[in-house]
Amino acid sequence: MVIMLSVSCRTIYNAEYTKTVMADPKLSKRARLLHKQLYYASKEGIILGHQDSPGYGVGWKYDAAVHAFESDVQKATGDFPGVYGFDLGHIELDKTHNLDTVGFASMRKNILDAHEKGGVITLSWHLNNPFSDGSSWDTISAVDKIIPGGAYIKKYEHWVERLAIFVKSLKHKGKGIPVIFRPFHEMNGNWFWWGDGNCSPSDYVALWKQTVHLLRDKHRVHQILYAYSPNIVDSEATFLKYYPGDAYVDILGIDIYDHDDSEAYAKNVRDNLKILSNIAKRKNKLYAFTETGSEKIPNEKWFTEILYPNIQASGIAWILFWRNARESHHYVPFPGHKSETDFIQFCKSRDILLLGNLQTIDTQ
């Protein structure tokens, strides 16, 4: 993927970009290039992303035998997302499928396809509670038990090893496919076992640093960019409450959903993206809208009237809409949806970048 900029713009942006410090000093050439290209992209527009595309959509699911590259975004607009979100939940349990029934073998094929087409890969991780063996949403305290000194640290280390093996298996022409890894997201909410009230900020930071050290130093995974993304915040202090430090983060993000209150959502987006931008610019970090959407999209003009005015010129590198699981749980229009026309209009905005706006290049 490459964004075409004028020579003068590239000169200016290159001077800014040289100040960037990466979380992995041994980061692969491909991953460094991806980060730089995302930086350029943020100067031109916002790359559109979708979770679990092309794994499934409303009324269809990826068929490994046919191996067709599909997406509800493409079915509605004629073009594919530029960013592809995948979740690694249950990789820690050595399962064949993730928590949303996506096969890891199929996921690997889809990641390769998306990468070859010039797409950007993001990975979240809804991992089980390592203490209770419940889901990510089992809020029994566990973080203090898997950081140094904890009784379950070996179990967690084994889980990270399984994740590392999967990520290292993501290859194109023999070299690792670069990925953006966004673990332990929305930590300022209380709905995950790593969230607010379920662990202390200092324990969260210890968990984050331990995870980076295991992946980067022990397992030598050097194709990862690390993204930190709280849920809605009310200040810079709240955003940074669990922040593990500049040396452990490459990308800053924020997750905001419209829970049937578009007026509140619009204000949250405006305020939070401003907070995000201020912190990112001060820290010289790339930043993105890492999760968003309005479930079932009840507002027919949601994309053009609620979302777009509040993300335009925000500087975010990408926006990721959540998954299209079924008619009762989706965040992007599918053919025949009442907001399909509005979504198409949104995607035609000059600064909204789909896969067709990006170009593949030789990253070797």
Q: Which among 276, 285, 189 is positioned nearest to 239, based on CA atoms?
A: 276
Is residue 58 within 8 Å of residue 327, measured between CB atoms? yes
- What 3-state DSSP class applies to 224? strand
Residue 191 in marked binding region: yes
Matching residue, tokens 């590259």: 69
- What 3-state DSSP class applies to 298? coil
Cα–Cα distances in angstroms (integers) from residue 190 to residues 121, 128, 185, 202, in the given order: 27, 15, 11, 16
Q: Return the active site residues.
A: 186, 291
Residues 164, 197: Cα–Cα separation, whole Å: 29
Residues 264, 163: Cα–Cα separation, whole Å: 37
The enclosing H or E element of 56 equals strand 56-57
Residue 257 in marked binding region: yes
333 preceded by a cis bond (ω within 30 of 0): no
Tell me the residue length of the chain. 364
Residues in the annotated binding site: 126, 191, 257
Binding residues for substrate: 126, 191, 257
